Amino acid sequence: MEIIYATSNAVKFEIATTVLRETNMTLKQSNIDVPEIQSMKVEDIARFSSIWARDKLGSSVIVTDVGLYINALNGFPGPFVKFANYWLTAEDVIKLLEDKEDRTVYIKECLAFCEIDSEPLIFQKQIKGTITKEIRSENGSLMDKLVIPENDSLLLDIPSNEFISFWVKHSAFNPFKEWIQTGKTFDKC
């Protein structure tokens, strides 16, 4: 079974194909530029984007979206990580948290699988963690510089040979894979 994964991100595509390696599902990458609605919920964004991509491509599709939710900042930046990366530095976020005791955060990935004639099915995965108090590198994204996942080290400190494995373990493609392996059929693909 071949499904289109609407993403231009090569790393996301590698993670997805790694998770689905032992299934009958084959992903085909589409670099289509998928619009994102304004919403505080990644699942709403993924749902809308998957319907849009399905209609545009005329095929069943998968779309993913990720949010970074900092508890002390009422969930900011949430699904607006891309914009936060553009407007803020990691130092700016740490300054916003300097008087806050709660440094908990979670990264939420949402996968929307949208068949040709159906509403999207939503699969989610979360990584809980904390926000660091100091920046140790100029490299990486906001998330890489700030997040320390539970029972792990700073995302930025994950060795390059373990990077893909870490994200494979925490990918929303895992609950999707479990759903596939329960014997679900894709009549409309």
The CA distance from 109 to 67, in Å, is: 7
The span from the CA of 25 to the CA of 157, in Å, is 32
C-alpha angle 93-95-167 in degrees, rounded to nearest 5: 30
Q: Out of 33, 44, 65, 144, which one is annotated catalytic?
A: 65
For the question of residue 65 being annotated catalytic, the response is: yes
At 150, list the tokens: 């539970």
The type of residue at 40 is M
Q: How far apart are CA 109 and CA 58, in angstroms?
A: 25
Which residue in 23, 3, 185 sits closest to 13, CA to CA? 3
What crossing angle do the helices spanning 173-181 and 10-19 adopt, rounded to 10°?
A: 30
Cα 50 from Cα 152, distance rounded (Å): 32
Q: Of all residues in the chain, what percent are helix, strand and coil, respectively (each to 5)?
A: 35, 25, 40
Q: Which residues are catalytic?
A: 65
